[in-house]
Amino acid sequence: MARTTHISSQLPRRFHGPYSSHWYNAVRLCLPALLILATSCDHNVLVQSVTTPRDICINNVRQMEAAKEDWARRTGATGGTEVTSNSITSFFTNGFPKCPEGGRYEIGRVGEPATCSDPKHQVPHE
Ligand SMILES: [Zn+2]
């Protein structure tokens, strides 16, 4: 008994080292993953909660492009056909979208991107 006590009182000192460094390593290995998770969560929260006029405008432009493509498919219009706002207004349940910062929309032709006249509102086309 006394011997066991003696050993176990010695062992923790020896075993604590590798044991705690094992945990240290585990935490250290997981930390980047945790950080990535944390930052991507923060990012999502930011993207969802902060909607800038630019975001709204770019969303409008994307909807216009989708409506334009839809309209072209339905009417059989080929690439290069000019599209007017009257042609695609019916695709928007709340009426034709307006730029939140007063930009003017250029719907453009079939197969071309729609644009806002505000240089800050250009849709990133990848
Ligand atoms: Zn705009």
Q: Is the pLDDT of residue 21 over 80?
A: no
Residues 46-95 have pLDDT tens digits of 555 689 999 999 999 999 999 999 999 999 999 999 999 999 999 999 99
This prediction's pTM = 0.60
What is the 123 CA–ligand 1 centroid distance (Å)?
A: 10
What is the 51 CA–ligand 1 centroid distance (Å)?
A: 13
Average pLDDT, rounded, for the chain: 80
pLDDT greater at residue 25 or residue 4 = 25
What is the 55 CA–ligand 1 centroid distance (Å)?
A: 9
What is the 52 CA–ligand 1 centroid distance (Å)?
A: 11
Q: What is the DSSP string of 33-97?
A: HHHHHHHHHHHHHHHHH---HHHHHHHHHHHHHHHHHHHHHHHTPPTT-B--HHHHGGG-TT-S-
